[in-house]
Structure 1
Amino acid sequence: MILNLDFNSEKSIYIQITEEITKAIAKGDLKINESLPSVRSMAESIGVNLHTVNKSYNELKDEGFLNIDRRKGAIVASLPMIGENNTKKESMLDLELLVAKSYLSGMSKGEFLELSSKIFDSYEVKYHE
């Protein structure tokens, strides 16, 4: 599994790992019921502390994107059910902040919607099949 991490970013590594895995699931690069590398293996391959990877996996579990089993490890979960967690509400808050930042940077509504549509369409292909 290839993760695009920026060790010079102000964004913490565990958040970057969480986001990269989320995008991989949405794009279908990681399939439902597919196992992720063990925490130790992932940590060694990207050169981070195993607690960093463990925190990412647990965050993804809490969001409903992974199931974690002591014997099987981290496994991609089925699509989270709306209402099972606050994913939809959190997405709304994240989107609101993104819209505000885009607006303040001078992006027009049309540009924002076009870009958003292209990005959304890149995810729509495989996960819901």
Structure 2
Amino acid sequence: MVLTVDQMSDVPIYQQIFRQVTQAVAIGELSPGDPLPSVRALGEQLGVNLHTVNKAYALLRDEGYVVMRGRAGARIADPSSYQSTAHQAASLAHALESLHAVARDLASRGLDRDAFLALAAQTADAVWPSR
């Protein structure tokens, strides 16, 4: 997996890193147990401060995507090993809240229900491609 950052983007760099890693997990490019580069190595590769990378890794850890093992580094977490029923319910509630916000935003901009559903289907196909 190759990470890139856009220094000119309005999206903070740590969030760009977070989004790229979670997308790689979602599409199966990264699997449970796969290592991530060290904070220092990724910072050097991207040309960003190691504290920025550390912030992205902390967010990945806090959201349950990554487990940190001291000197062994960061590895992609196995969802079945950490997701309690309460965590799964909270994740679903967060996802539904985000989906509602997107739907409201698009509706307020004049997009109709069928167009929203078509966009949702395209997005789902991008995340869950036929394998």
TM-score when scaled to structure 2?
A: 0.85
- Larger Rg over CA atoms: 2
RCO comparison, higher one (Cα < 8 Å, 6+): 1
Give 1 or 2: higher helix fraction.
Answer: 2
1:100 aligns with 2:100: no
- CA deviation after TM superposition for structure 1 residue 6, in Å: 2.4
Match of 1:60 in 2: 60
CA distance in 1, matches of 2:55, 2:39: 10
Gaps of 5+ in 2: none
Q: Cα–Cα, structure 1 residues 66 and 55, in superposed 2: closer, same or farther, change >3 Å? A: same
Which shows bigger deviation, 90-99 or 76-85?
A: 76-85
State the Cα RMSD in Å. 2.1
Aligned length: 127
Deviations 1:100-123 (A, max 9, x none): 222222222111111212222332
Q: Cα–Cα, structure 1 residues 100 and 6, in superposed 2: closer, same or farther, change >3 Å? A: farther
TM-score when scaled to structure 1?
A: 0.86
Deviations 1:67-93 (A, max 9, x none): 111121110011252422632222222
Point out 4+ residue stretches in structure 1 off by more than 3 angstroms: none
CA distance in 2, matches of 1:21, 1:103: 30
Secondary structure (helix, strand or coil) at the match of 2:25 reads: helix
Gaps of 5+ in 1: none
Deviations 1:11-37 (A, max 9, x none): 211111111111110001111110011
Secondary structure (helix, strand or coil) at the match of 1:37 reads: coil
Instruction: Report if aligned partners of 2:43, 2:49 keep a CA contact under 8 Å in 1.
Output: yes
Aligned residue type for 1:61: R
